[in-house]
Amino acid sequence: MSRWSGFAVTWRQMFKKRVTENYPTVKRPKPSRFHGRHVLNRYEDGMEKCIGCELCAGVCPAKCIYVRGADNPIDDPVSPGERYGFVYEINYLRCIHCDMCVEACPTEAITETKLFEFSFTNRQDAIYTKNELLVDDDGHAKRMPWEHWIGDEDDQTSGWMRATAPAGNALYEGRVAWSGELGYGVRAAERGQSGPAELPETSDHGHDDHGHDDHGGH
């Protein structure tokens, strides 16, 4: 074999279409169910979705979530329920992004963005508090100095339903199960499945036939 024959492979590859991106300036699109950095969501009126039930902390296999609930102030409630998340922390040195916390949350208060690039300079930065996790007044995640954001990593923060949510059932195909989210408004219904039975009847006010509303009780 000639000593120049190896360059034939190089020349052939030089003229092929590139499969890499100009990272970090350009990022590849992430799947809709990609697990990234968490956010705590709010309703359109600004009230927090978290009710301090601590189910996310209880189900977390890595024990990276710490939640402490408190009773809602009567004169100035934080959430629609009787309690709210007074303390909420996630330790990203432990988090394995399994998404079990999203599955367990009864109000869809916690969901995940598509951001996964962290560059911590100290261990304390890796522990996100409620102040860092709660979405801003536009419904977007707060940008921290050690995170690499381009701008669209949280456009689909709540774009999909949990497998255990009502819309995860084929009977709820085409029905908007949760609405009124800050920054996103009414969210698109679950798609891609079909059920043998008819959908539950809904009224013009968004209530199902059991009297539950689409606002999570708010």
- How distant is the alpha carbon of residue 161 from its chain centre? 10
H-run or E-run covering 8: helix 6-14
Contact 157, 181 (CB under 8 A): no
Kindly give the parts of the chain with pLDDT less than 50: 167, 197, 199, 202-218
pLDDT digits (tens, 9 = 90+) for 50-71: 999 999 999 999 999 999 999 9
CA dihedral 61, 94, 113, 56 (to 10 degrees): 40
Residue 128 has what pLDDT?
A: 96
CA distances from 199 to 78, 178, 215 (A): 33, 15, 19
Residue 4 has what pLDDT?
A: 74
Q: Beta partners for 90?
A: 65, 128
